[in-house]
Chains A and B, each alone.
Chain A
Amino acid sequence: MTTATTPSDPLARAMPERAGASPAPASSTHEEGTTPEPEREGALCLRRVGKRFGELIALDDVDLEVRRGEVHCLLGENGAGKSTLCNIVFGVQRPDTGTLTLLGEPYTPARPADALRAGVAMVHQHFSLVGDLSALDNFRLGRARRRSDELAAKARGLCERFGFSLELRRPVEQLSVGERQRVEIVKCLLDDPALLVLDEPTAVLPPPQIAGLLELCRQVAASGCAVLLVTHKLAEIGAVADRTSVLRRGRVVETVDMRGAQLDALVRSMVGREVRSLAATAASASSAPARAASGEALLEVEALRFEDRLGVERLDATFSVRRGEIVGLAGVEGNGQSELAAILSGMLKPASGHVRLAGRETTRSSPRELARLGVGCVSEDRHAVGCHLALSVAENLFLGSLERFTRFGWLDRSRMSQAAEAVLREHQVRGEARAPMSTLSGGNQQKVVLARELGLPGLAFLLAAQPTRGLDVGAVEAVYAQIREARGRGVGVLVISSELEELLSVSDRVLVMYRGRIVGDVPGGLEQHERVGSLMSGQGVDPIAGLGAAAAERAA
């Protein structure tokens, strides 16, 4: 896997100089006494780095070492702390605790300019290029002192080395997304960085170009630069990583050498190995399937397709949920679950396909119509979609049904608050009806949202997308207790979650989603852990090549 660097390599030549300038006290930063190979010494080291945002612990004592010449992948779900970590490395944010060292020297960037000067370059998910300007002019931004022809020569040299061509003089906005990304990467490499950080670089790329990008990452690493690739896509890691660190809830769960590592093992450490205490679940889970089997089909999803703006297919799903059944939808994030949830909750229109509720077409119904039909939805993003943080708890509970408390346009707030207090007591929410929603803890906010949706008149189907995200164990219990209670009333439930254990223990049936398709349909229960885990990782299908058609066949 390691490629020896050629002596003629400009990057490689730059590196030793940089390293030589600082007699690296490397021994202090290497905890494990293993003597690294010469070209594999640490470029960037994080020691016990922590960062809090108010109540939220974004990073919790993170230790990370990215070595020179390696592609180091940082794997984690949304909200695991990847972006915060990138921001700290690139000087956008400062850590609360811990230290960073770059090439053995203390590294405390206060702003991105410091990071660039120190030799850290970053390719952002959203490109930082000026669309009207040519690639060359973009290169010159912030490098006013360097001559244009010199920059052009250097850029051409880099392109040649990595085996692609770039239109240096055309406005960047006329280039394809893949070309723009290469411009961005070349721009970063012009300064011979010691570390190149790529934040979700493949998110914007159509699949055929992903392989090319990963190959480029390999080549950059081979030239002596350390590459930190942030992603939540497993397939890419298998293709490119030398080592992978798994970030979960702000902690580095493990760092794995990718030689001989199993992808599905990575999935498990990404979504959580320790089983959260779901004592009540275990008891009820065994009796559930029998009851579910008797239910009739309630929600039918047929060939539901969605493409993103780049024309990449994100979703192509067919499945059904019966009355009185909890169906779990498992999958590594970014495999189409969010799109499916948005379509089912009326917030997104699909490209084609059908959604039927009790035989009635609801494919393009608005959230309002869906609520009338008895479809409750707990949104994935509680703060952006699920609730109004600045409105009071009572207002949040009854925003969709204000008619109940309105006479001649006049809102009877005291009656609304009383009704809200009753709901809060019933659902054991700790909070005041008149207090702003933002004053409640995450768990209590989620309970309020769930109470609102469960309180819909004539509730028939409940969609719960990531209902336990950011909640502590107790709150998780409460949320699932309510969901099970709804099942008892004959409500059909679809739970989408990235917490695999929770999903397995609460669901009667688990569907596995991979690359937008349902690739597995297995009964619930923790004993299915291995099987679902391997389905989630695509089961060795070469996912970079295509859109998982093979996976779909395998599932069929």
Chain B
Amino acid sequence: MTALSSSEGSGLRTNAPRAGNPRPATTRIASLGVRAVPALCVLGALGLGLGLIALTGVPLARALPAFARGIVGSDYALVGSLMRAVPLSLIGLGYILAERANLTNVGGEGQLAVGGIASAAVALYGGAAALPRPLAFLAPLAAGALAGALWGALAGALKARRGSNEVITTLLLGFVGLQMVYGSVQSEALLRQPRTDSSTLPESLPLPAATELPLLARGSGLPLHVGLVIALLLAVLVGLLLAKSSLGLRLAAVGQNELASRRAGLRVKSLIVLALGASGALGGLAGAIMIQGDQHYLTAGFSSGFGFDGLVVGLLARGSAWQVPLFALLFGALRSGGLAMEMSAQVPAAVVLVCQGLIVVATAAAAALGRRRA
């Protein structure tokens, strides 16, 4: 029995699906103490950030309210924070899905990008607008997910067939995806809108109204769209998949020991392709939701770092699907508040980014500390 408790305490816990024994009461109390550490870390980072803002000469009395207003200051701000959390959450879910098979998908940004392209292409030129109502917006979403899946699966296939490191391939494919967005809105033969003058930035035509994501509170005029529901549903689905399904167990087995999995008769290569494909699909879906829900047309650089922030969300969630939306919310709020601080309190953008970075580092450090103590 002593051996049991010691193995539970080791790093195995994060990867292994927990089968059985609930933790004894003593560890539960200990883990409460551990929970406090992340909070302290984040508070420390916030303090550092505030000091930094004060150093730039912007009075904290002006910066802080701006930050808070940006997150929850109005219905509109709140919805903005929520909507920013949606793609972050999807990317994060994709990350932990691949992570279960011990694969590190750092290509969220590119999967997001190709998802956006595919979604815009199908919505504008694929005849999606002519479809009956739910299909009109579902078809471009599916196209986005499919494109992301292909992007992820490509890295998976390279890994399975040639042993290429997926960190490298997903990252580089990410850059390819990003440049493809630039390419596709530069050329009229592709997605660039035909009306051209010097004032028009390279972008596509606006999406047909039918292909935009339905709003949840239509009367209020708030941009609260169905993407939120999709993200929450998928969080539950991914959570169930990892914890309760055969596929989840197979992925965990491959993640822990590829050789033993092959010996046990698992199709290790297919599982690797599948894991990265599914991970990419979530990223592609995130891109489609951003295009159809928030932006309504494809522009160069529309992904604006959501893929990388989503990666951090996934990292911090440490394999837990229900933690992903929470961290996504944190990062969505940081983005909203940071933007507001920049715009209304004139805090330099660089300082805002540094503060966000500090919080990321603090959260990651807290997570690592918590893991060591748990």
27 A–B contacts from the bound complex (CB under 8 Å):
A345-B263, A347-B262, A384-B257, A386-B260, A386-B263, A387-B260, A388-B257, A388-B260, A388-B261, A390-B7, A390-B16, A391-B253, A391-B256, A392-B19, A395-B19, A395-B253, A399-B253, A399-B261, A400-B264, A402-B250, A403-B246, A411-B248, A413-B244, A417-B19, A432-B20, A439-B3, A452-B264
CB distance from B22 to the nearest CB of A (A): 11
Residues on A with C-beta less than 8 A from B27 are none
Residues on B with C-beta less than 8 A from A409 are 241, 245-247
CB distance from A404 to the nearest CB of B (A): 10
How far, in angstroms, from A410 to B250 measured CA to CA in the complex? 12
From A371, A387, A403, A410, B244 is in contact (CB under 8 Å) with A410
- Does A434 belong to the interface (CB within 8 Å)? yes
How far, in angstroms, from A409 to B8 measured CA to CA in the complex? 27
How far, in angstroms, from A409 to B252 measured CA to CA in the complex? 15
CB distance from A458 to the nearest CB of B (A): 14
Query: Which residues of chain A (82-112) have a CB below 8 Å from chain B?
Result: none
- Does A126 belong to the interface (CB within 8 Å)? no
Contact-size category for B? 20 to 34
Chain A to chain B: the 6 pairs with minimum beta-carbon distance, closest first: A434-B20, A400-B265, A368-B265, A402-B246, A399-B264, A406-B246
**B→A interface (CB under 8 Å):** 3-4, 7-8, 12, 15-16, 19-21, 241, 244-250, 252-253, 256-257, 259-267
Residue pairs across A and B with CB atoms within 8 Å: the count is: 101
- Does A539 belong to the interface (CB within 8 Å)? no
- Interface residue SS majority, chain B: helix
Residues on A with C-beta less than 8 A from B15 are 390
B3 contacts A438, CB within 8 Å? yes
- Does A435 belong to the interface (CB within 8 Å)? yes
How far, in angstroms, from A540 to B357 measured CA to CA in the complex? 70
B4 contacts A439, CB within 8 Å? yes
Instruction: Digitize A228-245: 1 where CB-to-B-CB distance is under 8 Å, 0 elsewhere.
Output: 000000000000000000
Residues on B with C-beta less than 8 A from A345 are 263
How far, in angstroms, from A439 to B19 measured CA to CA in the complex? 14
How far, in angstroms, from A428 to B97 measured CA to CA in the complex? 37
A411 contacts B246, CB within 8 Å? yes
Q: Determine which residue in A345, A386, A432, A439 has the highest number of CB atoms from chain B within 10 A of its CB, and name it.
A: A439
A384 contacts B259, CB within 8 Å? yes
A385 contacts B4, CB within 8 Å? no
CB distance from B340 to the nearest CB of A (A): 44
A368 contacts B21, CB within 8 Å? no
- Does A119 belong to the interface (CB within 8 Å)? no
- Does A198 belong to the interface (CB within 8 Å)? no
How far, in angstroms, from A145 to B110 measured CA to CA in the complex? 52
From A385, A401, A417, A435, B260 is in contact (CB under 8 Å) with A385
- Does A221 belong to the interface (CB within 8 Å)? no
From B20, B259, B266, A392 is in contact (CB under 8 Å) with B20
> Given A402-B249, A411-B246, A411-B249, do A436 and B264 touch, yes or no (CB 8 Å)?
no
Residues on B with C-beta less than 8 A from A386 are 260, 263
From B16, B20, B245, A410 is in contact (CB under 8 Å) with B245
Q: Which residue of B lies closest to A403 (CB)?
A: B246
How far, in angstroms, from A385 to B263 measured CA to CA in the complex? 7
How far, in angstroms, from A379 to B245 measured CA to CA in the complex? 27
CB distance from B34 to the nearest CB of A (A): 21
How far, in angstroms, from A386 to B8 measured CA to CA in the complex? 21
Query: Which residues of chain A (369-407) have a CB below 8 Å from chain B?
Result: 371, 377, 379, 384-392, 394-396, 399-403, 405-406
Instruction: Digitize A403-441: 1 where CB-to-B-CB distance is under 8 Å, 0 elsewhere.
Output: 101100111010001000000000000001011101100
> Given A409-B246, A410-B244, A436-B7, do A399 and B12 touch, yes or no (CB 8 Å)?
no
Query: Which residues of chain A (38-92) have a CB below 8 Å from chain B?
Result: none
Q: Which residue of A lies closest to B259 (CB)?
A: A385
How far, in angstroms, from A413 to B248 measured CA to CA in the complex? 12
- Does A10 belong to the interface (CB within 8 Å)? no
Residues on A with C-beta less than 8 A from B241 are 409
- Does A367 belong to the interface (CB within 8 Å)? yes
B21 contacts A434, CB within 8 Å? yes
How far, in angstroms, from A432 to B161 measured CA to CA in the complex? 38
B4 contacts A435, CB within 8 Å? yes
Residues on B with C-beta less than 8 A from A410 are 244-246
Q: Please give 14 more A-B residue pairs, beta carbons under 8 A apart, in addition to A417-B19, A436-B12, A438-B7.
A: A347-B259, A367-B263, A379-B263, A385-B260, A386-B260, A388-B264, A395-B253, A396-B264, A399-B249, A400-B265, A400-B266, A411-B248, A436-B7, A439-B7
> Given A347-B259, A438-B7, do A411 and B244 touch, yes or no (CB 8 Å)?
yes
Residues on A with C-beta less than 8 A from B252 are 391
How far, in angstroms, from A405 to B245 measured CA to CA in the complex? 10
Residues on B with C-beta less than 8 A from A394 are 19
From B3, B248, B259, B266, A368 is in contact (CB under 8 Å) with B266
Q: Which residue of B lies closest to A369 (CB)?
A: B265
Residues on A with C-beta less than 8 A from B20 are 392, 432, 434-435
CB distance from A514 to the nearest CB of B (A): 27
How far, in angstroms, from A432 to B3 measured CA to CA in the complex? 13
How far, in angstroms, from A432 to B20 measured CA to CA in the complex? 10
Residues on B with C-beta less than 8 A from A417 are 19
How far, in angstroms, from A96 to B265 measured CA to CA in the complex? 41
Q: Determine which residue in B7, B245, B246, B253 has the highest number of CB atoms from chain A within 10 A of its CB, and name it.
A: B246
From B8, B19, B261, B263, A434 is in contact (CB under 8 Å) with B19
How far, in angstroms, from A402 to B247 measured CA to CA in the complex? 9
How far, in angstroms, from A387 to B257 measured CA to CA in the complex? 8
Residues on A with C-beta less than 8 A from B16 are 390-391, 436
